[in-house]
Amino acid sequence: MADYRIENDSLGEVRVPASAYYGAQTQRAFENFPISGTRFPRSFIRALGVVKRSAALANNELGLLDDKLKDAIVTASNRVIEGEFDRDFVLDIYQTGSGTSTNMNANEVIANLASEQLGGDLGSKRVHPNDHVNMSQSSNDVIPTVMHVAARSSIHDELIPALESLAVSLGAKALEFDDILKSGRTHLMDATPVRLGQEFGGFAAQVRSATRRLVGASDDLAQLALGGTAVGTGINCPIGFPKTAIGHISSSTGLVFSEAENHFEAQAAKDAFVAASGVLNSIAVSLLKIANDIRHLSSGPTSGISEIQLPAIQPGSSIMPGKVNPVLSEAMMMVCARVMGNHTAITIGGQHGNFELNVMMPVMAHSFLESVHILSGACDAFRTRCVDGITANRERCRELLELNPSIATALNALIGYDAAAKIAKKAAAEKRSVRDVAKEQGVSDADLDSYLNVREMTEPGVPGH
């Protein structure tokens, strides 16, 4: 038997692999874009299946698609949703900027699966990819719809749970370390005291705020372009189709979606998508700060800060015996750098909403979904392999705090800024405690006990009052 079959499209004959569930248009695109080998992720293909199933249900309810065709398309779409035919989604993300090739890839796979179910051969078009699977739709409203469905589903299924769990772990460390007094640092230099728990509480608050902003960004992705068809006018889209199909999308995902208020905006611009990517970018900034602080606080063990200790999860050097490195912090930092780069790609992509259609949607979709996926994985790994196992070096915190000249700040209200500055400088130069130098300068023990209460320095108020 031949290892290919002959199919026809509007440009003529095409050889398609005999066993492939895709058809002529996918094969042409496969040959036209041998660029990166990077394909759409599982989350995007799953969302494509959800949209196609929802469209078939809506077309049937509107009397446009008979029960037999609807059932076959729904069954085929379900198999796509479950990932059974991911191998047949063969196209590079660097393709036509509308994603038309990938929309047709889905139409052809689902049509062939449905045709086979009804007794037809592959390529027979017993169920037609355009007339039946793509009924009431255009690539130009399907792909932006799939972008929002995939992005929002991934945010809620992956990233929000990962962020919430990380915030809980950081919050637990904040409570565990709340009694540990240590030097604060600003400009990388010694500053007035803080509690180690306060630092970790700040980390937890960053992650909780990031989650709140992400929920808001997800809400902005709830409006879908479906129903605008080619240019936003809704040509060939029956009245009632968008609302009905989007209702099924909401039921399938468990998330509330609605029809775009303005279809021209929804297809020509991807502003909500760029804005949501901006939130991913801000999350990356937050997580990089947290990971970087944690690796610096753990630096040492003899020549760094070493106020905390990270779990030793793997040898750190191929040449230096016993060396252990902050590898989870470094992994998180690289993920954050990638997310920031993806946001740049999405920002540039958003600028190319030329007239009635954005023409950089595939790379925008891939970049966004990659960012969600790697941020989620990094949060989970960082939490379970690093944060949960962090311990405090109480002796080191106390040792560094005792020599911190900024403790003299608490004496401002007693002896004035200038006199306190002299004590701080002398303490730093002679590597002595502020208390010893202040006592030498004539400050009484009673005043020192009152004004140099380090625990009180970590709360609002004026020391000694």
* 3-state DSSP assignment of residue 119: coil
User: Among 187, 303, 318, 465, which one carries the catalytic annotation?
Assistant: 187
SS3 content of the chain, % helix, strand, coil (to 5): 60, 10, 30
**Is 156 assigned a catalytic role?**
no
**Is 128 assigned a catalytic role?**
no
**DSSP codes of every residue in 16-42:** EETT-SS-HHHHHHHHH--S---B--H
- The Cβ of residue 430 has, within 10 Å, a number of other Cβ atoms equal to 10
CB 91 within 8 A of CB 59: no
**8 strand-pairing partners:** 13
User: Among 19, 36, 317, 444, which one carries the catalytic annotation?
Assistant: 317
Rounded CA gap, 205 and 198, in Å?
10
Q: Which of 136, 356, 103, 358 is nearest to 235 (CA)?
A: 136
Rounded CA gap, 46 and 39, in Å?
13
Q: What does each C-alpha distance from 232 to 132, 247, 264, 313, 361 come to in angstroms?
A: 21, 20, 5, 54, 16
CB 102 within 8 A of CB 47: no
Q: Active-site residues: which are they?
A: 187, 317
